[in-house]
Amino acid sequence: MKKIFFKKKPIICLTAYNKFFAEIIDEYCDLILVGDSLSMAYYGNSSTRSITVQDMINHGKSVRRGIKKSIMVVDMPYGSYNTKQKALKNAKKIINETKCDAVKLEGGTEIEDVIKTLVNNKINVMGHIGLLPQSVKKKKDYRVKGKNSKERKKIMDDLKSLEKARVFSIVLEAVNLNVANEVIKESKVPIIGIGASKNCDGQILVLEDMLGLFDKVPKFVKKYINLNLLIKQAVKKYATEVKNKKFPLKKNIYN
């Protein structure tokens, strides 16, 4: 597998779960992530933990068909990399079946050896530190990281571990601004922010969040359109026209 290098900055990243959205965003993105966030944003689960390797593969295959130029990364889901052997087996399966360019794993010091195993087997790995959605068990655990010295140290230690393991980039999620800027300053690899500093080398959002499909979103999300409202308006108009027999028109019917 070819090593990944970003040609320019800021690096523009979004998630996608199917071919159709991937086709739309590919023109503007440098990296498209098939995120395990699909567990919540697509399937309506309460956490990312419910998704399986096969789920990620199914969505990854669809996204692959919509990408022409962007780097494609697939999340390794919860429980799929808790040993080096398991991680290697699942990473190879994901890459072989989706033809993605890399996989993403959550964690730092605790998975350094796992990531080293993947990289030594010529697998590109994207890291993820700060808030780790796969580790969240309760809603209250969704909170900003790095607000105390213990959390700051953990984040900086994780950064060094991932660099030693030779990840090609790192997602930094929901981290205190001062700590995020310290990570950016110290890091030797590109830092992709989500709820972190604007000084990151790139930014990523869940596509459905920034399109305004959901009423409640994290603070770090900016809604660029209210697609929820537009869909409701379209469906309401459709329902009214069917009810009043204004649809289908003659041009909508086969002769």
pLDDT tens by residue, 218-240? 999 999 999 999 999 999 999 99
If one counts the domains in the chain, the total is 2
- Domain carrying residue 74: 11-224
Pair (172, 117) in one structural domain: yes
- The alpha-helical segments, DSSP class H, found in 110-221 are 112-120, 149-164, 177-186, 207-210
Alpha carbon distance 146, 101 (integer Å): 31
- pLDDT for 142-188, tens place per residue? 899 999 999 999 999 999 999 999 999 999 999 999 999 999 999 99
**Res. 242: pLDDT tops 80:** yes
How many CA atoms does the CB half-sphere of 127 hold within 13 Å?
Answer: 33
Report yes or no on 111 lying in a domain: yes
Catalytic residue among 27, 97, 151, 173: 173
Is residue 242, in this structure, part of any structural domain at all?
yes
Residues 29 and 47 in one domain: yes
**Whether residues 62 and 163 fall in one domain:** yes
Q: Nearest-5° angle of CA 215, CA 220, CA 224?
A: 60
Same-domain pairing of 71 and 183: yes
The answer, yes or no, to whether residue 139 has pLDDT greater than 90, is: no
158 and 253 within one domain: no
Helix (H, G, I), strand (E, B) or coil at 185: helix
C-alpha 92/C-alpha 81 separation (Å) is 12
- Do the domain assignments include residue 2? no
Condensed to tens digits (0 to 9), the pLDDT of residues 61-115 reads 999 999 999 999 999 999 999 999 999 999 999 999 999 999 999 999 999 999 9
Cα 123 from Cα 56, distance rounded (Å)? 17
Q: What is the pTM of this model?
A: 0.97
pLDDT band at 44 (very low <50, low <70, confident <90, very high): very high
In this prediction, residue 10 has a pLDDT band, given cuts at 50, 70 and 90, of: very high
Which pLDDT score, from 0 to 100, does residue 142 have?
A: 87
Residue 233 lies in a domain: yes
Mean pLDDT of 35-49: 95
Rounded to the nearest 5 degrees, what angle is found at the Cα of 125, between the Cα atoms of 144 and 158? Answer: 40
For CA atoms 152, 155, 161, 166, give the dihedral sign: negative
pLDDT at position 5 over 80: yes
Domain identity same for 126 and 196: yes
Burial (0-12, 13-18, 19+ Cβ within 10 Å), 91? buried
Omega of the bond leading into 190 within 30 degrees of 0 (cis): no
Residue 43 is predicted with a pLDDT of 96
Q: Are 189 and 140 members of one domain?
A: yes
Asked whether residue 237 falls in the same domain as residue 188, the answer is no
Q: Is 221 exposed, middle or buried (0-12, 13-18, 19+ CB in 10 A)?
A: middle
In this structure, the answer to whether residues 203 and 119 fall within a common structural domain is yes
Assess whether 51 and 166 both reside in one domain: yes
Asked whether residue 250 is assigned to any structural domain, the reply reads yes
pLDDT score of 60 = 98
Regarding whether 245 and 208 lie in a shared domain, the answer is: no
Has residue 5 been placed in a domain?
no
The Cα–Cα gap between 218 and 226 comes to 15
Question: Residue 77: inside a domain, yes or no?
Answer: yes
CATH number at residue 166: 3.20.20.60
Both 215 and 234 in a single domain? no
Cα(198)–Cα(181) distance, rounded to whole angstroms?
A: 9
User: Looking only at Cα atoms, what is the longest distance across the chain?
Assistant: 73
In the chain, what percentage of residues exceed pLDDT 90?
95
Whether pLDDT at 140 is above 80: no
- Specify if 155 maps to a domain: yes
Question: Across all residues in the chain, what is the average pLDDT?
Answer: 97
**Do 134 and 76 form a contact (C-beta atoms < 8 A)?**
no
173 is catalytic: yes
| Average confidence (pLDDT) over 190-207 | 98
71-75 and 169-173 strand pairing: unpaired
